Amino acid sequence: MIKKVCVQGLGFVGSAMCTAIASSRDSLGNVLYDVVGIDLDTEDGNRKISSINSGKLLFFCEDQLLKKKLEEASLDVKNLRASSDVNEYVDADIVIVDVDLSVQKQGISYSLPVVPTKSFELAIQTFAKLIKPQCLVIIETTVPPGTCKNIVRKIIKEEFSIRGIDSEPLICHSYERVMPGKNYLQSITHIHRNYSANSKEAEKLAKEFFENLIAIDEFPLTKLRDTTSSEIAKVLENSYRAMNIAFIQEWTELAEEMGINLFEVIDSIKKRKGTHDNMMKPGFGVGGYCLPKDALFAQWSLNNYHSDKKLKLPLTLQAIAINDKMPQHTFNRIKSEIHAFKGKSVLICGVSYMPDVADARNSPAKVLYDLIKAEGGICKVTDAILSDYGDGFLQEDVWVGENYNGFDVVVFAVKHSSYLNLDMNKFSQGLKPNCLVVDTFDIFNDDKIKCLLGAGLRVIGIGKGHIKELKELKGLL
Ligand SMILES: NC(=O)c1ccc[n+]([C@@H]2O[C@H](COP(=O)([O-])OP(=O)(O)OC[C@H]3O[C@@H](n4cnc5c(N)ncnc54)[C@H](O)[C@@H]3O)[C@@H](O)[C@H]2O)c1
């Protein structure tokens, strides 16, 4: 029997999740789910709804498979549609929660983060008023550990009780590891998944659902002891990654001081598989929706659900603070080259947080942009793939020019394919003489850097202290 699944929230996660679920088939190739994506009846929500209904994604997407499957599900098979009508929840067999939940960074060293839970609570309450008692609720939103027990269950129980339902709600927590990019869809279906549920019945239904969604022969499911363990797994996973990135920052500065190419050093270490192959590399900064915030959910839980012991996570909090400040280092490096920003023009190329991903949330470019403008510099931003820069930049500062002419400084802040594939001769010919080119992510190899130096340009690189040596070879020092 085809089951009805409602996916609440049609953002970067929900829109891809809807498509993955609608594309699930049984062993005979039969459709398994009728999927309804639900977003808010707002301008933004309705844009997302219309795009799903027309079989298209709203944002730039490199994954051809996701585009094909979305079009197929919405327009051909017609087992995927989107709506803002909450009555869709009434006959749902499964509701999947993919709404946003943010954190405000407050307190000394971020020790008192604030999570505005109101909109998340409203989201849960919306369907809790309508769902069948036997509907399985799967929370995919990243939440403070303990939220399924302290918030989700409580709200659904309350609404059930108002409706005269005395059964225990069926709640599962299972977080997303989705990675927008070339393998967007498969980063949902072909990846190990953790899950946990609040009862044997919920666990059975969740297992059956994920077995249909995930390529479990290759990626068997992992069941965790309880929903809080699964919630912790998500925030620990992202805290570990954030810490890994933060750790490299001081070594970046050391390498620049000592004239070393840290990328080369790290590549040599990463060959030691099993213990060192996930070492992170120097960079410009950390953006996106998850890494800058997720670790703080753990501190919020300690402060709010377990406040008696006043336990802190100092290393974890410091990692987030280091990552937030990272673009300041690029700013300092540029300043030491050009001495003052007043009257100087800077173009930042790359606003999204990841190569070839169209997401400008928490852009590290915004930090650099603000620092430059605060010192009287003229700062423009551009991005090879973004159409929506968010509301952090003045419209007049979004550079839509075709070339890089006329700037005193050009910063490459994201490793987009089009920056990697720049024709160095053409690029360098268009630049102002003596322009400073800043490579923040190992975008240019030594040959390309030599080409720029040979054209009379200045070059610095984050974590690339050896550029000094390249200049000496060119007789430029
Ligand atoms: N973006 C990623 O790569 C990623 C990866 C893994 C996990 N996550 C987590 O997944 C969750 C969703 O992230 P996202 O990037 O898709 O967020 P998003 O902001 O792109 O999308 C959230 C959507 O939920 C909608 N929404 C909010 N309240 C609603 C309600 N009551 N009813 C219906 N819709 C509602 C919003 O309008 C928005 O369209 C977050 O918790 C995030 O941390 C994100």
According to DSSP, residue 86 is labeled G
**For residue 100, how far is its CA from the centre of ligand 1 (angstroms)?**
4
Q: Which atom of ligand 1 is nearest to the CA of 84?
A: 33
The confidence score (pLDDT) of residue 394 equals 95
Distance 231 CA to ligand 1 centre (A): 16
Return the DSSP state at 152. I
- In this prediction, residue 477 carries a pLDDT of 58
Best residue among 97, 141, 176 to mutate for probing ligand 1, ranked by most atoms within 8 Å of CB: 176
Q: Are 23 and 31 in contact (CB under 8 A)?
A: no
- Dihedral over Cα of 223, 225, 226, 227: its sign: negative
pLDDT at residue 420, rounded to an integer: 95
Burial of 208-232, coded b for 16+ CB within 10 Å and e otherwise, reads ebbeebbeeeeeebebbeebbebbb
- C-alpha 3: how far from chain center: 30
What are the helix (H) ranges across 182-293? 186-189, 200-213, 227-258, 262-270
Is the Cα torsion angle 55, 99, 241, 327 positive or negative in sign? Answer: positive
Q: How far apart are CA 327 and CA 367, in angstroms?
A: 6
pLDDT at 20: 98
Residues of the chain with pLDDT under 70: 474-477
Residue closest via CA to ligand 1's atom 18 equals: 11
The pLDDT score that the predictor gives to residue 436 is 97
What local confidence, expressed as pLDDT, does residue 313 receive? 96
DSSP 351-376: -SSSTT----TT-HHHHHHHHHHHTT
Cα 18 from Cα 39, distance rounded (Å): 12
Look at residue 429 in the predicted model and tell me its pLDDT. Answer: 87
Q: What is the pLDDT of residues 259-269, one digit of tens each?
A: 999 999 999 99
Report pLDDT for 476.
61
Residue 149 and residue 173 in contact, taking contact as beta carbons nearer than 8 Å: no
C-alpha distance from residue 335 to each of 371, 373, 434 (Å): 11, 13, 15
Collapsed DSSP state (helix, strand, coil) of residue 20: helix
Distance 124 CA to ligand 1 centre (A): 13
What spacing in Å lies between the alpha carbon of 140 and ligand 1's midpoint?
A: 9
> What's the burial of 42, exposed, middle or buried (CB within 10 Å: 0-12/13-18/19+)?
exposed
CB count within 10 Å of CB 30 equals: 9
- Separation of 289 CA from ligand 1 center, angstroms? 9
Q: Which residues line ligand 1 (CB under 6 A)?
A: 8-14, 38-40, 44-45, 48, 98-101, 119, 122-123, 126, 140-142, 176, 178, 180, 289-290
pLDDT of residue 59: 86
CA dist list (Å): 233 to 172, 214, 221, 440, 450: 14, 19, 14, 31, 45
